[in-house]
Amino acid sequence: MKHLIKFTFLLLALLFASCKKNELDLLPAATATGANTMGAIVNGKAWVANGGTGFQPPKPVEGGYTSTPYDETGNNVYIQAYKKDKTQIHIYLRNVSKTGEYLLDSYTKVFGGEPKQPQNYGIYYIPGKVYMTTSEHTGKVIITRADTTNGIISGVFHFTAVHGAETTTVTNGRFDMKF
């Protein structure tokens, strides 16, 4: 009986491990070639950008280096990724001039206008709800390629975001885009 219990626990552990691996297998490779891809594990399920919906739908991944009239730092990165189920992931980073780690640890009002400089943030959007990083619900982006000459920005990320009392966890994220 003791061996049967051990065997059952081992079998269950292998089953859970294989389920997690299968979700990771669904994500795009973590490349740095300008492949225009983004994917992550959102609340334990694979999320892969495959484009928006509508008359002129957005591409799966859009953005890159950008400037805004209220942010004098320059070299800002704004990446938006869309899925046909109308969910989105957004990442905004200030002053990205080289590879390295960038924290997602501030709140920025992104809808309804922002009268001041936006801070680094991550968003997971589902219709009607915006889950956003804050100073308490944080994350990190590691830029693996910041190539303004060839127009390529790539990296990996993770964050926990909040909407009211609800949280969303985004892990194993990766993006690779040419702008």
34: left (phi over 0), alpha (psi -120 to 50) or beta: left
pLDDT reported for residue 6: 43
Which phi and psi angles does 152 have, rounded to 5°? -125, 130
Between 45-49, 114-118, 156-160, the lowest mean confidence (pLDDT) is in 114-118
Q: Which pLDDT band, with edges at 50, 70 and 90, does 83 fall under?
A: very high
Distance CA 5, CA 90 (A): 45
The closest alpha carbon to 28, from 178, 177, 175, 179, belongs to 175
Q: What is the DSSP letter of 119?
A: P
Quote the mean pLDDT of the chain.
85
Across residues 76-103, what is the average pLDDT? 94
pLDDT reported for residue 91: 95
For 94-103, the pLDDT digits (tens) are 889 899 999 9
Across residues 138-164, what is the average pLDDT? 95
Q: What is the dihedral of CA 101, 144, 122, 157, to 10 degrees?
A: -90
